[in-house]
Amino acid sequence: MKKISVSLSGHQTSISLESEFIDALHEIAEIRATSVAKIINEIDSARKLKTNLSSAIRVWILNYFHQ
């Protein structure tokens, strides 16, 4: 597990994810010509309140590569 720090709605937070998912986030950010932080903010804005952010990120990445 690795931690990454991002700003969500003006607040710093850290997210723990497996290295493979962090690598995938960086790959997607490069493909989309955007930042990892922006992607995480998009995921955070779209997730249901009861859903854990790390879990929401993992599912989003899986869906991204399945599309």
3-state SS, 1-67, equals: CEEEEEEECCEEEEEEECHHHHHHHHHHHHHHCCCHHHHHHHHHHHCCCCCCHHHHHHHHHHHHHHC
pLDDT of residue 38: 95
User: Which pTM value belongs to this model?
Assistant: 0.91
Spatial contact of 4 and 15, defined as CB atoms under 8 Å apart: yes
**pLDDT the model gives residue 9:** 82
Question: What pLDDT was estimated at residue 33?
Answer: 98
What tokens does 28 get? Answer: 């997607």
pLDDT tens figures, 6-63: 998 888 999 999 999 999 999 999 999 999 999 999 999 998 888 899 999 999 999 9
CA distances for 34 relative to 49, 51, 52, angstroms: 25, 24, 23
Q: How confident is the model at residue 48, as a pLDDT?
A: 82
Domain locations in the chain as residue ranges:
2-66
Instruction: State residue 50's pLDDT score.
Output: 85
